[in-house]
Amino acid sequence: MLRLKLLALLTCLFCVVADEYEEDLSVAGYHPDAPPTIILTPGTPGPLDVSEGSDLVSRCSVLENEPFTFKWIRRLPDGSAQILSQNYVLSLYQVTHQDIEYPIYCQATRSADGQIFEELLDIRVDQQYTVNIRPLTAEVIVGKPYEIECEVSPRPDTPVSYRWYHAGRAVGDNAVLRIPSLAYPDIGAYICRAEWTPRQSRTGPIAANTTVEINLALTREMGIEMVPPPGNVMVTLPGETRELHCEFHHLRGSQGVQWFFNEQPLEFHPTLNLSGNVHRIDRMRVSIVILRGVEKSHAGAYECRVNGDIRQTNVIVRDEDVLQINPSSDTVDEGFAVEFHCQTSGSGRPSNRDMLWFYRPFRDGPMIPLDTTSPTGFRRQDDPYALHTSFISKQYARKSDEGEYICRLGPNEAVAKLFVRQISNYDVFITPPIIRVRAYQPIQIECYTQETSGRPSSVVPTHRIDRPIVGFISTPIGENRLQISHPTGLGAEYNGTRVECYTEHPGKPASAIIVIESACPQGYRRCRSGQCIPAGRFCDGQYDCIDQSDEDPLYCKACDPISKPCEEYNGRAPHKKHYMIHWECDGEDDCGNGFDESRCPDKAVARCDGSTFTCDRGSRRIPLAYVCDKERDCVSGEDENNCATPVIQSSPTYRYTTRPGRQVILQCRVTGRPIPRVIWRFNWGCLLDEGGRFRVHSVVENCDSPMPTVVSTLTITGVQNGDDGIYNCEALAGATRAMSADYFVMLE
């Protein structure tokens, strides 16, 4: 019915001329569709300036003499409304920037027709500025330049003027105060006054002061040798004992030495030695002033004069309480406990009762007293026996606890920072996932974490072993990485031991298996029965193992680092199936078709030693493999002379951490006689892809020397998962061998 009446009225109105229509409206003073006039008190007119941290109460009313109902809402980005009040009064306590992140409206609903009208409460939170001074120079050193900078945070939108004061006088008018050469008079308090006028200010310029104290570190040595003007500085605390040494070398005896304190003769100074704690000792080459039980009155300029030669030391006595918070910065996960303690030194009196704690959020909020009475907040628990220390702690940290925690004692304060990580899922990775070692060979495994999202993690994993074993050592080697090692290794009975890494957070753990392989002597291979025979007897057409497994086709196909298969060469089939790798290019046809003498990868080695050895008597030449094989092949036995067991030099590093797709280069240096042949092993077996991604290159240095050096390099390109593990270089020289220490390649 209401809609029909309005339409009828509109139809009638459109029947009159424009002048009459306007006159009718002016006479009526009211139009049914005209919105009411909503008044916000305060808030009309806007914007309404509110100080951060203060309380706000606003009332909503309508000028028209009609009944309305009211409520306050916050309009959210998805279009929904959050109800803040069900009546005409809005109350906001401790207003922050978050309170005005989304607009706040008063909704006035007309009782006659249910139509809703809204009025925006235009709140503008007064920007809270802080003025801070930060050092630009890391250390306070007398005679060196020193710089400090005054900062306003957040940065104002208009220019800022600065003025620096020290010792009651202006010393600078820029944001950065630079002292070209720090001297004793420069030590002390500096005040920075910053002033600016915000662009939309209603109250005019803003000015704020902050103070910093430039202090030298306490002098560690009890005594100090005085130097020519402007002298050096000794910083001490009350009650300490200090010595000032005036050294001289052109006098014999101290009769010509004069001491002054603040330009007055030391012995006659009216106040320096009232307590009798200042003593002077004279010797042939030095005169010493001893301050026993330093007092505040002992601070000043000390000077010794020797025949016009002047030496000076400026003594600074710190009598204020020195505050320190530990830890100065802490990072915890949500839900974990956190604790700070503030300690003071220097006064010798119980002072934790005088300490005050404050909190300041990182988001440029104001510094407020820390509430230590809430059962769910920080608690202050000072110990009656630790009179110089105050403790605050919270059992379960939350993200909202992030910020600065300030401890104050008189004019001094110390600041600690707390960072709280929100709970995330952390996946654990382990490298290598399978580690193959021999009995009692050192073991090393590493595990690391990252967030499931792929972002870097700062959580160090922990580990557990699936059986009771003594000797494992866990060492954090990064902010998210743990090394697990067993320096002496394990016996064969621990084969199959599982190491698991995990975190206390949600996420996937990871585990590695330790495979302990039975070992034969170097140069031997194990038969299926456990019998060890020389590797060269495997797959040679004759049964040597008791169980005949040395001729098993599966064993013959298995890779062995020190033997290679004979292949067809020049259309001729080989007579043997395998040959030893150090028989390659030794001057003797071991395959029977010349195959092992046709491929000489270590040409540099061949150029040094050649492929044969010539005996001293006669012209008999023997294969190089016969040299130093512990059998005399030359008549006089010279082929067994000057033999030297290979020695592998220590590497500067044995741990290599890399990522998939990158390159790793391992190198070993070997000496021996005859020149050793070097091979590389992976987990005691063959390289995964030798000649492809895995390439070995060996060269000989100093061929003409009595003991040449073989430099062998293993390059792994395009590292993949599964390439992580233990690598070794093995040197073969005649009948002797040497094995390097383990090279650990780990993935990250």
Residues 6+ apart with CB under 8 A from 157: 198, 199
- Distance CA(475)–CA(310), nearest Å, equals 56
End-to-end CA distance of the chain: 77
Asked if 677 and 579 count as a contact pair (C-beta separation under 8 A), the reply is no
Which of 379-396 are b and which e, b meaning 16 or more Cβ less than 10 Å from the residue's Cβ?
Answer: eeebeeeeebbbbbebee
- Distance CA(732)–CA(514), nearest Å, equals 28
Q: Tokens for 194?
A: 């910053």
- Distance CA(539)–CA(207), nearest Å, equals 93
**Nearest partner of 565 among 543, 533, 590, judged by Cα:** 590
- Distance CA(615)–CA(384), nearest Å, equals 91
Q: Tokens for 362?
A: 């990182």
Give ∠ CA 132-135-138 in degrees, rounded to 5: 155
Residues in the chain, pLDDT under 50: 1-31, 347, 604
Which letter does DSSP use for residue 9 in this model? H
Residue 471: count other Cβ atoms within 10 Å of its Cβ. Answer: 11
Bridge partners of 405, per DSSP, are: 359, 416
Q: Tokens for 423?
A: 């709970």
Q: Show the DSSP H helices in 551-639 as ranges.
A: 553-557, 603-609
Global pTM reads 0.41
3-state secondary structure of 133: strand
Q: What pairing do the DSSP bridges indicate for beta strands 130-135 and 278-282?
A: unpaired
What's the confidence (pLDDT) of residue 603? 54
Residue 127: count other Cβ atoms within 10 Å of its Cβ. Answer: 14
- Distance CA(556)–CA(553), nearest Å, equals 5
What's the confidence (pLDDT) of residue 13? 31
- Distance CA(235)–CA(242), nearest Å, equals 10
Which letter does DSSP use for residue 327 in this model? S
- Distance CA(540)–CA(720), nearest Å, equals 35
Q: What is 528-572 written as a DSSP string?
A: TTS-EEEGGGTTSSS--STT-GGG-HHHHHS--TTEEE---BTTB
Is the alpha carbon torsion for 590, 591, 593, 594 positive or negative? negative
Q: What is 47-108 written as a DSSP string?
A: -EEEETT--EEEEEEESSSS-EEEEEEEE-TTS-EEEEESSSEEEESS--GGGGSS-EEEEE
H helices then E strands: how many in the chain? 4, 57
- Counting Cβ atoms within 10 Å, is residue 34 exposed (0-12), middle (13-18) or buried (19+)? exposed
Residues 6+ apart with CB under 8 A from 460: 449, 476, 478, 479, 480, 481, 482
What's the confidence (pLDDT) of residue 25? 31
Please give the single-letter amino acid code of residue 216: L
- Distance CA(449)–CA(428), nearest Å, equals 4
Asked if 591 and 576 count as a contact pair (C-beta separation under 8 A), the reply is yes
Asked if 484 and 446 count as a contact pair (C-beta separation under 8 A), the reply is yes
Please give the single-letter amino acid code of residue 585: C
Q: Identify whether 230 is preceded by a cis peptide bond (ω within 30 of 0).
A: yes
- Largest pairwise CA distance in the chain: 143
Bridge partners of 195, per DSSP, are: 161, 207
Element (H, E) at 21: helix 18-28
Please give the single-letter amino acid code of residue 135: P
- Distance CA(633)–CA(637), nearest Å, equals 6
- Distance CA(199)–CA(205), nearest Å, equals 10
Q: Identify whether 265 is preceded by a cis peptide bond (ω within 30 of 0).
A: no
Q: Tokens for 269?
A: 């100074």
- Distance CA(300)–CA(280), nearest Å, equals 17
- Distance CA(591)–CA(567), nearest Å, equals 8
3-state secondary structure of 18: helix
SS (H, E, C) 173-209: CCCEEEECCCCHHHCEEEEEEEEECCCCCCCCCEEEE
Which letter does DSSP use for residue 651 in this model? P
Q: Tokens for 710?
A: 């073989």
Is the alpha carbon torsion for 537, 541, 542, 546 positive or negative? positive
Is the alpha carbon torsion for 448, 452, 456, 462 positive or negative? negative
What's the confidence (pLDDT) of residue 317? 85
Residues 6+ apart with CB under 8 A from 475: 482, 483, 485
Domains of the chain by start residue, with CATH: 38-126 (2.60.40.10), 130-214 (2.60.40.10), 225-317 (2.60.40.10), 322-421 (2.60.40.10), 426-517 (2.60.40.10), 644-747 (2.60.40.10)
Asked if 566 and 592 count as a contact pair (C-beta separation under 8 A), the reply is yes
What's the confidence (pLDDT) of residue 346? 54
Asked if 361 and 418 count as a contact pair (C-beta separation under 8 A), the reply is no
**Nearest partner of 329 among 374, 362, 354, judged by Cα:** 362
Q: Identify whether 36 is preceded by a cis peptide bond (ω within 30 of 0).
A: no
Q: Tokens for 673?
A: 């006689």
- Distance CA(404)–CA(174), nearest Å, equals 28
Query: What is the strand order of the sheet 116-121 is part of?
Result: 81-85, 68-75, 104-110, 116-121
Q: Tokens for 237?
A: 């605390």
Residue 528: count other Cβ atoms within 10 Å of its Cβ. Answer: 14
CA distances from 63 to 68, 108, 122, 160, 561 (A): 11, 12, 19, 45, 98
